[in-house]
Structure 1
Amino acid sequence: MFAIKAKVYGIIQGVGFRPALYNALKKYTGWVRNSSCCVEIYIESNRILNIEKIIIKNKPQNAFIKSIDSVIFKIKKHAYNSFIIKYSKGDAQKNINITPDWGICKKCEQELFDSSNRRFLHPLITCTDCGPRFSIAKDGLFDRNNTTMNAFKMCKMCATEYSDSSNRRFHAQTISCKECGPKYFYVKNKQVELKDIKAVKKAAFDLENSKVGLLKGIGGYHLICNAFDEYAVEKIKYIKKREEKPFAVIAKNIETAKKLAYLSKKEIEILNSQIKPIVLAKYKDERLKFVNLKSPFVGLMLAYAPIHLLLFYFSNLECIVATSANLSEFSLIYKDRDAVNFDGVDFVLLHNRKIIRPIEDSIVHFSLNKQIIFRYARGYAPSPFYLKGVKPNILALGADMKNNIAISLKDTVILSQYTPDLSNYENYEQFNKKVNDFLSFFDIKKVDMAICDRHPNYLSSNYARQTFANVFEVQHHKAHFASVLLENNYTGDCIGIVLDGTGFGDDGNIWGGEFFVKMDKTIKRIGHIKNMKLYFGEKAIKEPYRIAASYIYDITDDIEYVKSLFSDYTDVIELMPKTPYLITSSAGRLFDAVSALLNIKHKNTFEAQSAMLLEYEAKKHKTSKILDYKIDNFVVDFSMTLKTIAKRRDLVSARLFHNTFVEAIYENTMSISKLTGIKVVALSGGVFQNDIVFSLLYKKLTKAGFNVLFNSRFPINDGGVAVGQIYIAKEGLCV
């Protein structure tokens, strides 16, 4: 007689792992249970079993097994009469592998519309394979009593399903039905008017009739309306004070999505996946003009919550605007009282399942069929990333504009959900809560090291300096570079190209167009875009004509010429000779300057608007020509490029600038490679969200024989900085 004890580590809680193992092992005696750090198994058998093979073969679809530890020993007799699922056990080591919130699975979707099923039209249907997880979990031990579903006592039929090993909701912690589960309510003028399916029907009717509502989903509230209704879309623009920034939409199904946008195989795959992010795809249906404005892309997603499917079921709608319920750049609304008091909407459709932590929709884009993450949130956070070696408890605070924090516990790195610009007080408060929540949720009682950006005025960095004893500061762009090395598990020599808008440099200037070399344990800046004078500070980022004026004045030293280029702003421009300035090597500011020079956008209404519009204009022109530029000692000088564009001022220059920019970056990389002998390149930074820049440079580098690494698992923008901060500390790099 033998007994086998095993511990399974990985993403194994909240995915139906115990029920799956129960059904695989029920012919033996013993037990399976959740513990704080893993799933534990004890089996009694007359023969030795290959327990690793059994576990791997029978794991649920959403589970990820990191490792299995097992031991076999002899016993004299059975201690158990059957195989059972035991109550979960808490211990000193917490599980840090809870799953993200999953979109509705195919089986639940089928049941939702099966009139013979008792969950027919149940707007909060879930199972072991789908539904809320991280957004409702109180801690990492994912049992019902540790979630906000604890408020809802299972009815007799749900309890029977929960206990039935042959039922697909066997031990489904979020199990509910129309009788015992949370319910939807239709609220108007702060009063509940309808509930249950009547509430859903009324909301669907309202959407068909140009109404705008707030909808509570999995991780927070959406502002919703008919995407093809110009009046309703204009109303959402007014509510959000967002006149020019495109909105995301939910398509009725994948067939509808294919009619709305040109979709590649990979885009279809991720839309259909349970991650169900917003996919930035090229639009083709002109009816989307109200929501995508001047963008050639539409932010498209499929229904990921049952309520989305029901709104389509009870209406003739094909596409719904679903944008975060907030004012632009403010925190997502997720509390019911805030939603009910939200001004401007015609109704609120909410359910009474509490959301513990708000989680935005994730955003991805595919360039050359390669995934680029713009926003890391629902469906991704807080997925673990495994590294070799034991590390201390590290907390990385990330950056300010797009904030994702990260923790490192032993051999696992967890990146948090996204929080918008921390300069907004509400967002900073949300960041503060997120840090405390992460430390509590993953049971980190002592932070051995806190890592922050070197910027003296970053709110995240000042928070670290004021809160923790052992603080290590990392330069912004080196952390970007390191984030690529971490996700590719690369420790060799490498050239880093980091292109973004703003980051505090080691020399006290504003960096953003950087070339690094990593050799052994050292990261050194070897080159950069030529420093330019930037007048008017932060104001210039919001009004890019000031950037263009600054750069042309720096190049020509002719204030009258600059005034002639921007005759509407002569009163501002004539102040420049007497105004203090910053020094910057920013790549992002170059795109802003060119956009203003070409009269595409002089003043931004949202972050990076001018650069985005420049890219959209460039996509309209087919030319491979380039303009003049200069490189000296690995410093890339675009002065001649800007002078030529200032003279031309034609829209084809948008494409010429993109071509020139990529060619110059490529040439400088080739020179650095020739000097160092390195043929591995890492790409990171927000400028690589530009489809033309990423695709052209990637193709040139791979054709030249480079191994090109980039951010795909983590955000390529500032959202990935935190994991780079951890990598630098982990590897003990000299930066």
Structure 2
Amino acid sequence: MSDGARARWRLIVRGIVQGVGFRPFVFGLARRLALAGHVGNDSGGVFIEVEGAPSALAAFLRELRANPPPLAMMDSIEVEAVPVRGESAFVIVESEARAEANTSISPDVCVCDDCLRELFDPADRRYRYPFINCTHCGPRFTIIQDIPYDRPLTTMSAFPMCPVCAREYHDPTDRRFHAQPVACPTCGPRVWFEAPGQPTLHDDDAIRAAQAALRDGWIVAVKGIGGFHLACDATNDAALCALRRRKGRGDKPFAVMVRDLAAARALAEMDDDQIALLTSKARPIVLLRRRPDAPLSELVAPGNAYVGLMLPYSPLHYLLLDDLTQPLVMTSGNLSDEPICKDNDEALRRLASLADGFLLHNRDIHMWCDDSVMRAFAGRTLPVRRSRGYAPFPIRLAQSVPALIAVGGELKATFCVARDRQAYLSQHIGDMENLETLQAFERALAHFVKLFRITPERVACDLHPGYLSTQWAERFAAEHNLPLVKVQHHHAHIAACLAEHGFAPDVDVIGVSFDGTGYGSDRAIWGGEVLVANCRTFTRVAQLKYVPLPGGDASIKRPYRAALAHLWVAGIPWDDDLPCVSACPPQERRALRQQLERGFNCPPTSSMGRLFDAVAALVGVRQTVTYEAQAAIELEALCDDAEQERYEWVTAPAADGGALLLDPAPMLRRMVDDLRAGVARQVIAARLHNTIAELIAQVSDHVRRQTGLNVVALSGGVFQNVQLLRRTLPRLRAAGFEVLMHHVVPPNDGGLALGQAAVGGWSGCL
């Protein structure tokens, strides 16, 4: 409707449009175009009414779509004409809460350049203030208690604004307009340092005391945006040895924080894509190849050619690193296998045996969020752990799903809540192997259900009956009388890849799902699977030949056992000159042989992850591991990039006419020959990767001839291996395949919940 030369439109904008400067942007745009009306938040997004000349309204909509604020991500804009009111001003109105509506939440964002300049400007009133922020940066997800995103519904509600901060907050032309965490030294949170037997120090004295402690080799617990870090000097062997011993860390690598890009370049080799990822607003840990002369302790990442680097992302980090010349280890503030600490009292209790001192603050963390871990590959992001900086940004699905909960797997656990076309994958929860992590899972899930207004109509989980997540889903579904959809592990991997690429539910692809462990529909341990799959169903069309895994999980921690099993199946004698044989004590060797001959406690596995472990042990890279995939990671890092040769496999139909069997026995025989001929481990490692890449291409071509399918989806933890990807993608593309890989959610089990949500939402209930 219009009134002469005037018209009025009502717009509903959905997506990440709260806490990102959207309302001041709309305010400024409307004022520039001489439009009247209002803008406000509600639980579903942002509502706008604009009134003025039709040409100005059209310009408003064009600009809104083309140039939204940098942190905004719009899913949709609904526009309708409404009666003209004859208003002359444009205003920002109070937020409205609607019980049934939901909106997306911005992840936490690193401190922006403008705030960083103010942080180190002695003339600025927020000089060296550890909680400086504005509309374009700072905490979001970790401080939000409910929507709409306004200060009273965040942990900043405990800090009434001083008159100066209040003026900034209410001024639509100010960079801090409606920046919910806005604060200053007069009215905001404070930081302090405490250590046994020492006086408590506050503010800048606290930061300088923490720096001195780190220089002296202390381990300091540092409260950040999403939880606590345990920090120490990354060049100090004694500090790192103590940290590993206290934390129960084994050889698992530590992340390292450096003050700037120049410091990062001194530690690792990096290309433009890796630099872009390292300096992105999300500020993840980025896995980079370590420089041989890097001034880092070997205890940062024992036996590992890569180092996980990150840049500071909070003002407190910048202040802590400002006068330090050494890089800092920044690892999760917890005992191994426990959830990260987020509260002061909890940290002082749980981390007392780990830390020598505590750098604390009184801005509460409502929802913990661990650091994200990423790799860069072929110009794109390859997620390893999707958490701070990315969660809870939604994945938009091809079609709507009923409201549901998908609980994920066991290792690298995440969950997913979904409704309509939005799937919200949680931050990294941890390994669901103990009660503490299960309780953390329950708390985070309750928060997501509240934030995103999920009233579940069904529940999805893994097939594995022993997973704590599966058992929780069974109880929850029974208690609430909800349908339970159990999704096969490797089908969920492929469905996750399809969902993130926006595939419709019934579109079939060739799915290559390679990982360490997944419960098969035949109750065997799967992990080397080729499927014809969509987001409802799958058919297993090829698999690694089953190999007995003596002792089950015991072989995962002792790769030499997997190697001996593979040798036994391949008919290769256990001669003492083979590293995996000599690594196994004679008594254990005899017991293993009896197990294999009798089939006692030897679950069959088709796992590609276990094959990589076996080869690592066979060639003497790694016989025992202290963290998941350690052997495969070290084998990947050995690869000789110049090596082009590969080994042969046997592929044959199964005796029952089922899936094509992929038998590595010929490859293992050639490897043993190479080993005895003195061929370098680097060459053997490269030949293994070449072989697997060629196998993927050949099997995909075989399936294409049978089905006509031309899209290959690569998923599962094995596809974190960039050496394998570098060899696989060119082969598939040269053969004319379209290749899908993960860029939004991890290929490992951290992405399972998304696949479960897709299958659970789009398939019938079991």
Common topology (TM > 0.5): yes
The Cα shift of 1:418 comes to 0.8
Q: What is residue 746 of structure 2 aligned with on the other side?
A: 715
Letter in 2 for 1:600: V
Change (3 A) 1:370 1:5: closer
Q: What is residue 646 of structure 2 aligned with on the other side?
A: 626
How many Å separate the matches in 1 of 2:308 and 2:567? 35
Q: What is residue 332 of structure 1 aligned with on the other side?
A: 340
Letter in 1 for 2:29: A
The Cα shift of 1:533 comes to 1.0
SS class of match (1:393): strand
Q: What is residue 450 of structure 1 aligned with on the other side?
A: 459
Letter in 2 for 1:630: V
How many Å separate the matches in 1 of 2:99 and 2:538? 38
Q: Does the CA contact (< 8 Å) of 1:516 and 1:526 recur in 2?
A: yes
Q: What is residue 522 of structure 2 aligned with on the other side?
A: 507
How many Å separate the matches in 2 of 1:312 and 1:106? 17
Q: Does the CA contact (< 8 Å) of 1:522 and 1:733 recur in 2?
A: no
- Per-residue Cα deviation, 1:510-535 (whole angstroms, up to 9, x for no partner): 11000011379642110111111111
Q: Output aligned runs, 1:232-271, within 5 Å.
A: 232-271=239-278
How many Å separate the matches in 1 of 2:302 and 2:471? 38
Q: What is residue 589 of structure 1 aligned with on the other side?
A: 610
How many Å separate the matches in 1 of 2:583 and 2:543? 32
The Cα shift of 1:22 comes to 1.5
SS class of match (1:287): coil
SS class of match (1:389): strand
Change (3 A) 1:82 1:563: closer
The Cα shift of 1:646 comes to 4.0
Gaps of 5+ in 1: none
Q: What is residue 221 of structure 2 aligned with on the other side?
A: 214
Q: What is residue 688 of structure 2 aligned with on the other side?
A: 657
Q: What is residue 526 of structure 1 aligned with on the other side?
A: 541
Q: Output aligned runs, 1:25-174, within 5 Å.
A: 25-26=30-31, 27-45=34-52, 47=54, 49-50=57-58, 51-57=60-66, 59-75=68-84, 77-78=86-87, 82-174=89-181
SS class of match (1:214): strand
Letter in 2 for 1:478: H
Structure 1 residue 638 and structure 2 residue 664: aligned? yes
Letter in 2 for 1:91: R
How many Å separate the matches in 1 of 2:250 and 2:325? 24
The Cα shift of 1:93 comes to 2.9
Of 487, 503, 508, 1:474 maps to 487
Of 557, 572, 579, 2:588 maps to 572
Q: Does the CA contact (< 8 Å) of 1:280 and 1:364 recur in 2?
A: yes
- Per-residue Cα deviation, 1:342-363 (whole angstroms, up to 9, x for no partner): 2132211011011111111000
Q: What is residue 226 of structure 1 aligned with on the other side?
A: 233
Which moves more between the two structures, 508-517 or 253-262? 253-262
Q: What is residue 671 of structure 1 aligned with on the other side?
A: 702
The Cα shift of 1:625 comes to 1.8
Of 616, 629, 646, 1:608 maps to 629
Identity score, percent = 35
SS class of match (1:687): helix
Q: Does the CA contact (< 8 Å) of 1:21 and 1:58 recur in 2?
A: no
Letter in 1 for 2:646: I
- Per-residue Cα deviation, 1:75-125 (whole angstroms, up to 9, x for no partner): 3643xx632221110113333301011111111111111111111111111
The Cα shift of 1:265 comes to 1.2
Q: Output aligned runs, 1:270-669, within 5 Å.
A: 270-284=277-291, 285-290=293-298, 291-313=300-322, 315-341=323-349, 342=351, 343-444=353-454, 446-468=455-477, 469-491=482-504, 492-518=507-533, 522-556=537-571, 565-566=581-582, 568-576=584-592, 577-578=594-595, 579-617=600-638, 619-620=639-640, 622-633=642-653, 634-646=660-672, 648-649=674-675, 651=681, 652-669=683-700
Q: Does the CA contact (< 8 Å) of 1:187 and 1:340 recur in 2?
A: no
Q: Does the CA contact (< 8 Å) of 1:563 and 1:573 recur in 2?
A: no
How many Å separate the matches in 1 of 2:472 and 2:196? 40
Q: Does the CA contact (< 8 Å) of 1:100 and 1:380 recur in 2?
A: yes
How many Å separate the matches in 1 of 2:401 and 2:569? 48
Of 695, 720, 724, 1:689 maps to 720
Change (3 A) 1:76 1:688: closer
Q: Does the CA contact (< 8 Å) of 1:96 and 1:384 recur in 2?
A: no
Q: What is residue 656 of structure 2 aligned with on the other side?
A: none
Q: What is residue 657 of structure 2 aligned with on the other side?
A: none
The Cα shift of 1:333 comes to 1.4
SS class of match (2:460): strand
Which moves more between the two structures, 640-649 or 392-401? 640-649
Q: Output aligned runs, 1:1-20, within 5 Å.
A: 1=3, 2-20=7-25
User: What is the total number of aligned residue pairs between the two structures?
Assistant: 730
The Cα shift of 1:235 comes to 2.4
Q: Does the CA contact (< 8 Å) of 2:273 and 2:379 recur in 1?
A: yes
Q: Does the CA contact (< 8 Å) of 2:460 and 2:473 recur in 1?
A: yes
Letter in 2 for 1:726: A
Q: What is residue 735 of structure 2 aligned with on the other side?
A: 704
The Cα shift of 1:4 comes to 2.2
The Cα shift of 1:236 comes to 1.8
The Cα shift of 1:57 comes to 4.8
The Cα RMSD (Å) is: 2.2
Change (3 A) 1:519 1:168: closer
SS class of match (2:296): helix
Which moves more between the two structures, 514-523 or 274-283? 514-523
Which moves more between the two structures, 470-479 or 575-584? 575-584
The Cα shift of 1:592 comes to 0.9
Change (3 A) 1:346 1:574: same
SS class of match (2:121): coil
Letter in 1 for 2:436: E
How many Å separate the matches in 1 of 2:392 and 2:354? 33
The Cα shift of 1:663 comes to 2.1
Structure 1 residue 203 and structure 2 residue 216: aligned? no
The Cα shift of 1:191 comes to 6.9
How many Å separate the matches in 1 of 2:111 and 2:235? 25
Q: Does the CA contact (< 8 Å) of 2:549 and 2:565 recur in 1?
A: yes
SS class of match (1:483): helix
Q: Does the CA contact (< 8 Å) of 2:397 and 2:500 recur in 1?
A: no
- Per-residue Cα deviation, 1:328-373 (whole angstroms, up to 9, x for no partner): 2321111211222321322110110111111110001123333210
SS class of match (2:8): strand
How many Å separate the matches in 1 of 2:228 and 2:535? 48
Which moves more between the two structures, 118-127 or 724-733? 724-733
How many Å separate the matches in 1 of 2:641 and 2:730? 19
- Per-residue Cα deviation, 1:631-671 (whole angstroms, up to 9, x for no partner): 11332100122233345445242333222222222222222
Letter in 1 for 2:184: C
SS class of match (1:524): strand
Change (3 A) 1:567 1:292: closer
Which moves more between the two structures, 557-566 or 46-55? 557-566
